[in-house]
Amino acid sequence: MASPVSGELRLGLIGAGPWGRNYISTIAALEGVTLARLASTNADSAQLVPPECRISARWEDVARARDLDGVIIAAPPALHGVMTRTALKGGHGVLVEKPLTLDPEEARELLCFAESRGGLVLVDHIHLFSPAWNALKTATRTQGCPRSIHTVAGRWGPFRADAPVLWDWGVHDIAMCLDLTGETPTSLRARRTESRDTPDGAGETLELALGFSGGLTADIQISNLMADKQRLFSVRFDRQSWVYDDTAPDKLTRHDLPGGPDGPLGPGQAVPVDSTLPLTRVVAAFAAALRARSHDLASLRLGVETVVILDQLAQALDANHL
């Protein structure tokens, strides 16, 4: 086994858009890591990073740099595959934004490539790093098998040309369902309940359903036409319902079900959770994996399975549209 990495970790970042800037501020606040390189065409990039950070307009300069310990990719989804592969080929561990790719075959090939090189790839399914989400998962081990899952997510926008609503919002819900159940769905359904043009771009509302073993069903609603932001993930057991609400002050609440799993919720009781921001936990987990010279690809495998299911749901939407 290779010796752990010691000293300050030097990270490279590809992309200085809204989420890339979140990475910049997160890295700046963490001990033991420094942003050494940035790939960006943003004219204001020099004002966002430390003076010693080298800036390049070419993403390849960061992906292939020999003076880095790891590379973070916060670029448009269509570029995730080629950027991740190039960074792996350059000998780097990679932290890549969701979705892993927009094509299941490209995702599978990326997994094979990472396995062949003994590489590290962590996919930032951000909600999986929330302390509230981890507490909910712990609860499932004491409550028995889930009886049903219900999720609602969306807001007004974003209206993106590079990622439809399914791939932008739905990627979170699918990854959360897979992470919670540890299973591949046995069935799926998808339909578009609303589609319209707005002054800001094309919007739609989707209803998705995933079926799992034992009769468990996850009902998912996502939209970029909601007036108020929502990110709700509710899991019902025989006697309790646990609700993860990323927009609420109390991120996780527990409700009794006096009428059984199909009855109304009882009063909610807040479940105390750590207040560390999920992105801080993401970068910290990436840094820890780099230091340990980890070759764990569990996150990448989840990313691949998520892409495969998203593609199947997209095909179902297209079939229903005909």
- Among the residues of the chain, which ranges form H helices? 18-29, 59-63, 80-89, 104-117, 131-143, 165-168, 170-181, 278-291, 298-321
Cβ contacts of 39-47, under 8 Å, gap ≥ 24: 39/12, 39/13, 39/14, 39/15, 39/63, 40/15, 40/16, 42/16, 42/17, 45/16
pLDDT at 142: 86
Is 90:63 a contact under the CB 8 Å cutoff? Answer: yes
Distance CA(233)–CA(246), nearest Å, equals 9
What is the pTM for the complete model shown? 0.95
How many whole angstroms separate alpha carbon 27 and alpha carbon 259?
48
pLDDT single digits (tens) 92-106: 999 999 999 999 999
Q: What is the pLDDT of residue 4?
A: 62
> Domains of the chain, with CATH numbers?
9-125+279-297 (3.40.50.720), 128-276+312-316 (3.30.360.10)
Instruction: Identify which of 312, 315, 103, 139 has the alpha carbon closest to the alpha carbon of residue 211.
Output: 312
Q: What amino acid is encoded at 289 in this protein?
A: A
pLDDT attached to residue 144: 85
Proportion of the chain above pLDDT 70, given as a percent: 98
User: Per-residue pLDDT for 143 more than 70?
Assistant: yes
Is the per-residue pLDDT at 226 higher than 90? yes
Would you state the pLDDT for residue 1?
35
- Among 109-118, 264-273, 289-298, which is the least confidently predicted range? 264-273
pLDDT digits (tens, 9 = 90+) for 154-193: 999 999 988 999 999 999 999 999 999 999 999 999 999 9
Phi–psi pair at 62, nearest 5 degrees: -80, -45
Min mean pLDDT across 189-193, 208-212, 264-268, 275-279 is at 264-268
pLDDT at 300 over 90: yes
Which is higher by pLDDT, 142 or 92? 92
